[in-house]
Amino acid sequence: MNSSTTVPEHTADEPAVPGQRKDGEPTTRELLVEITVTTDAVRKKTWVSGDISGDGTGDGAPLELVGSTTSPMSGLDSAGLGWLTPFISFLEEPLNQLRGNPGPVESGSGEYDRAGQDVTAAADTYRKSTVKETEDWSGGAGEGYRETGSQYADGLTALGEGSSTVASALTGAGEVVAQVVQIVTGIVAEAVGKIVPIMTEAVAQAAVTFGASIAAAIPQCVQIAVEAGGQIAGKLAALLSSGQNLLKLVDGAIAVMQIAKQVLSAISSQSTSPGQSTDSSRTTDTGQSTDPDQDDETTQSTTTEELA
């Protein structure tokens, strides 16, 4: 069985092989490396502020905490000091803002993750098929076809990795919000723990001081609450900063995905345009000739349409 290849001429502005980009333009491999680094940064939570990650709570907290309704102010009621709650209720307001239903976060993350896995699996299948179907092709044009397939598979993998990045970002953001809920809850509980003995003693002395002990204790308790509020404000600022850092990473991943789609489209155009057609043929036992570019056009066009 004989193989014949004819490599067409190319202008100086055109890449000799589809999938090889012009100078200054990224290849799909370079895009894949870039988005993989971004994904790693998102998953390792390098975007989380040290004011949050330095609290010894690890890489986040269970997402279920976002839906928690437990009140750290309940210690006042337990001590019979519920009447004091209005004076320091501002401590619990941030928790009311942070809490919510974690369901949409979990479902949204799952959808992006499954999409990423599906695209990555499709890329792996395509990569293997281009090698298997051309294993008996020889010559420069055959090598070019395999390189084109590899570049295209890298581009698809970059898209899959980008979807996984978004999934990790959604999960990570939810876990860090839960972590802040946990931290703020602890700060409020600690403040309540300081307030209860002060006010309990004041109440015990109220009868002999004609209520003066309570009047004197209230400013002390409010001051404790104000100091705790300052700590909480710092954590909320750190959460905002962390969110901005994460958004930059996600924006970067989306930008890479957009470029990857453009490069994949360019690869398809190069491999199917008349001026870029490569006459690499393989003669079969029946005397028929197979055209790799015809197969490549069908496979790549179908994949691009699915992604669009």
Pairing of strands 279-283, 3-6: antiparallel
Q: Crossing angle, helix 212-272 and helix 292-307, to 10 degrees?
A: 160
CA distance 261 to 119: 13
* Per-residue model confidence (pLDDT) at position 301: 46
CA distance 267 to 271: 6
Calculate the CA dihedral of residues 203, 208, 209, 210 and round it to 10 degrees.
90
Residue type, 167: A
Q: Crossing angle, helix 212-272 and helix 28-43, to 10 degrees?
A: 160
* Per-residue model confidence (pLDDT) at position 207: 92
- Rg of the Cα trace of the chain? 31
- Both tokens of residue 195? 């307030």
- Both tokens of residue 131? 């090698």
Q: pLDDT below 50 — which residues of the chain?
A: 1-21, 273-308
Residue type, 22: K
DSSP 279: E
* Per-residue model confidence (pLDDT) at position 14: 39
What is the model's pTM?
Answer: 0.75
pLDDT in tens, 23-64: 567 899 999 999 999 999 999 999 999 889 876 555 678 888
Q: Who's near 17: CB < 8 A, 6+ residues apart? A: 143, 144, 147, 148
* Per-residue model confidence (pLDDT) at position 58: 53
H, E, C per residue of 118-153: HHHHHHHHHHHHHHHCCCCCCCHHHHHHHHHHHHHH
* Per-residue model confidence (pLDDT) at position 72: 93
Nearest in space to 73 (alpha carbons), one of 93, 56, 55, 57: 93
Residue type, 60: G
* Per-residue model confidence (pLDDT) at position 59: 66
